Amino acid sequence: MNFYKLILIFALAALFFAFACTHINRKALVSRHNPVIQQPDSLAPLSVGNGEFAFTSDVTGLQSFPDDYESGIPLGTQSHWGWHTIPNDQNFRLKDAMQGYDTYGRQVEYASMRSTPAVNWLRANPHRLHLGRIGLNLTKKDGSAVQLSDLTQTRQQLNLWTGRLSSSFRLEEQSVQVTTACHPERDLLAVCIESPLLETGQVDVTLHFPYGSESWGKTMADWLQPDRHQTQLQAKTAHSAILKRTLDETEYFVRLQWSPEGELVQSEPHKFHLKAGSAKRFEFVCHFTEQMSDDTLPTVAETCDHSAAHWESFWNTGGAIDLSGSSDPRAHELERRIVLSQYLTAIQCAGSFPPQETGLTCNSWYGKFHLEMHWWHAVQFALWGREHLLEKCMSWYQMILPMARETAARQGYTGARWHKMVGPDGREGPSSVAVFLIWQQPHPIYYAELLYRIHPNPYVLEKYRDLVFESAEFMASYAHWDDANQRYVLGPPLMPAQEKFPVEHTMNPAFELAYWAFGLEIAQKWRERLGMERHQSWDHVLKHLSQLPVKDSLYVNTETAPNTFEPQGERRDHPTVLAVYGMLPGKTADPEIARNTLKAVMQSWHWEHTWGWDYALTAMTAARLGEPELAIDALLMDQPKNRYLINGHNFQNDRLPIYLPGNGSLLTAAAMMAAGWEGAPENDAPGFPKNGKWIVRHEGLRRLP
């Protein structure tokens, strides 16, 4: 053999070996964290979904025992298009919730009234719908109803690599196996049931449809008002049917297709049964759709194949972090949280609208979006190489831009003011807190900047210029000129991100000041990229914006509440004093003051009164300050609000059993700690400790600004 060919073969072999040693085996990484449920657990339902639609099941693979899960995580079927509004018989309007607040000598109105009929209706409408319950109807040999406790040998596994949910149990010594999958491009559930109990009629499928619920919490359905909605059987063949659902002005359709031997039977006005006939195997697909269509439905097998192809592509693209070589005992749990959080945010938070805090599982705040939380849901998509999932909902901001302009104009400002608690129509919900928040205002600028850094071309600049400039225009307009001190101030009235201060007297919170400076400077860069001159009034605000409030070499919550770290100081809720040098790049902050503040927060904050994203926020600040040990300690702090369930959900409390900002923030912090940030040290995984206990393999991640 030619000597040079031999050298080439050895070189290629060496390259292949090096690649095999460094390339992450993504299937192994993902699959070792497949959730496995060995017994019924109301805090361990599993979901399948596609970002626009999700279905949450109990241990049977369907929604067979909803009452047993109501105290934990309820079993819902939700979508981004499924909304309902109770008739507005009294013609309530947002102005009915308005109150005036003195703003440097002028009255500015906010929708801040409490608990009037108008306020209650405006807050609760529109609300997200439970589209319908699909469960097994199980009976014993004697005809009595089966209880959850009657099931034995229960086992359920979610295959993250294929998106397929496999559930099995035994009833009176007979096996039941259920496979559940969601189509990646259609709001369609595919189910296969295998059991000898199908032949005896002890197993069939129930579909039950509710009215919309005006409840604040996780309750998303009203089952007690059957006369207020309609379920019409519009069409039926031997093995298919179309149901039309009507709830006041809301309409949607449910299309069913099942195995040839099956039969659809209606038992109540809103309740149907799919019976298997004499087969031991029964399959069906159920398609929820806002508009009627007559296209061919995929089969169960086709849906499962589409699901598998979609999830294999999802996991093989974008970022990955493998911690399996680490000896720190916390590494496996962190890796588990990272993998499951990717799955959960993909099915719950990656839709055409911003997500609610409980995603598409159950309702919090009537199913509405919290735009200040959108940063924690969605920024991670860009860092993990899945920026298209962030970009999906940017068109919604563009759609409601006229309403945001109207709000700013009504209050005497220019530009566009983004709300906090909104529904799909962009109307804000009245609140004594939410309407005064401002930290969501620079978010669209941040999202647009992330997208531009990934794709630095004129198309991105033109596409999002209005969002960037209108957001910045309001920010400059909102800042008030304090002539006596020759500076610009924020508020009052204002509620900072740490929601603990009187709006009438609060001024200059540290985080909001830093974010104002960051957002305005990015907006100026966009003008320069577009060949425009810098905006003079924006530059005047940037030059004269108030300094971050400091006391005793520590950043404090607000200028008007400087006693943060004193014995009676307010050290609960979000420790957003840390965001000035962590979530943000710290251009207006002093790193040593930030370091002092980090250590004071770690030592004295009341962590039992925080929220799920606070731990990631703290870790990000620790990482940027070169304190990786503290970053890990913060990210995995043993606190009630930092608990991650077996299904990967971030549990907060009984009222808020899942909290997806926790999952999204974890992914943001993990990506930052592994891939670094703007100005980070050049060493690999700069946010992880270099104590020999952490072996961090990562690929496909992007740096945080």
Report pLDDT digits (tens) over 431-470: 999 999 999 999 999 999 999 999 999 999 999 999 999 9
**Per-residue pLDDT averaged across 586-612, rounded?**
97
- 77-83-86-92 Cα dihedral, nearest 10 degrees: 150
pLDDT at 22: 63
Q: What pLDDT digit, counting tens, does each position of 490-549 carry? A: 999 999 999 999 999 999 999 999 999 999 999 999 999 999 999 999 999 999 999 999
Rounded distance, CA 599 to CA 594, Å? 9
pLDDT at 2: 57
Q: What pLDDT digit, counting tens, does each position of 231-281 carry? A: 999 999 999 999 999 999 999 999 999 999 899 999 999 999 999 988 899
The residues near 246 (Cβ < 8 Å, ≥ 6 apart) are: 229, 230, 231, 232
* Mean pLDDT of the residues in the chain: 95
pLDDT at 21: 43
Given a cut of 50, whether residue 650 has pLDDT beyond it is: yes
Rounded distance, CA 430 to CA 697, Å? 47
| Cβ atoms < 10 Å from Cβ of 14 | 10
Phi-psi region of 417 (alpha: psi -120 to 50; beta: other; left: phi over 0): beta
Asked if 468 contacts 448 with a C-beta cutoff of 8 angstroms, the reply is yes
pLDDT at 159: 98
Percent of the chain residues past pLDDT 90, beyond the cut: 95
Given a cut of 80, whether residue 419 has pLDDT beyond it is: yes
Distances in Å between the Cα of 214 and the Cα atoms of 59, 87, 218, 292, 322 are 28, 12, 11, 27, 43
User: Which residue's entry shows tokens 């099995």?
Assistant: 168
Q: Which two tokens stand for residue 138?
A: 């199980």
Rounded distance, CA 629 to CA 59, Å? 39
**Per-residue pLDDT averaged across 82-92, rounded?**
97
**Per-residue pLDDT averaged across 203-219, rounded?**
95
Rounded distance, CA 32 to CA 62, Å? 24
Given a cut of 60, whether residue 14 has pLDDT beyond it is: no
Q: What pLDDT digit, counting tens, does each position of 339-361 carry? A: 999 999 999 999 999 999 999 99
Percent of the chain residues past pLDDT 70, beyond the cut: 97
pTM listed for this prediction? 0.96
pLDDT at 566: 95
| Cβ atoms < 10 Å from Cβ of 535 | 18
Given a cut of 60, whether residue 78 has pLDDT beyond it is: yes
Report the first-to-last Cα separation within the chain, whole angstroms: 53
| Cβ atoms < 10 Å from Cβ of 403 | 18
3-state secondary structure at position 177: strand
Confidence band of 17 (pLDDT split at 50, 70, 90): very low
Asked if 409 contacts 473 with a C-beta cutoff of 8 angstroms, the reply is no
Given a cut of 80, whether residue 314 has pLDDT beyond it is: yes
Q: Which two tokens stand for residue 55?
A: 């279905």
pLDDT at 362: 96
The residues near 204 (Cβ < 8 Å, ≥ 6 apart) are: 136, 137, 198, 273, 274, 275, 276
Given a cut of 50, whether residue 7 has pLDDT beyond it is: no
Confidence band of 26 (pLDDT split at 50, 70, 90): very high
pLDDT at 251: 98
pLDDT at 507: 98
Confidence band of 429 (pLDDT split at 50, 70, 90): very high
Given a cut of 60, whether residue 70 has pLDDT beyond it is: yes
**DSSP 8-state secondary structure symbol assigned to residue 435:** G
Confidence band of 294 (pLDDT split at 50, 70, 90): confident
The residues spanned by each domain of the chain are: 32-86+125-313
pLDDT at 1: 53
pLDDT at 656: 96
pLDDT at 6: 46
CATH of 32-86+125-313, one of 1.10.1380.10, 2.70.98.50, 3.20.20.70, 3.30.70.1350: 2.70.98.50
Q: Residue 610: phi, psi to the nearest 5?
A: -110, -170
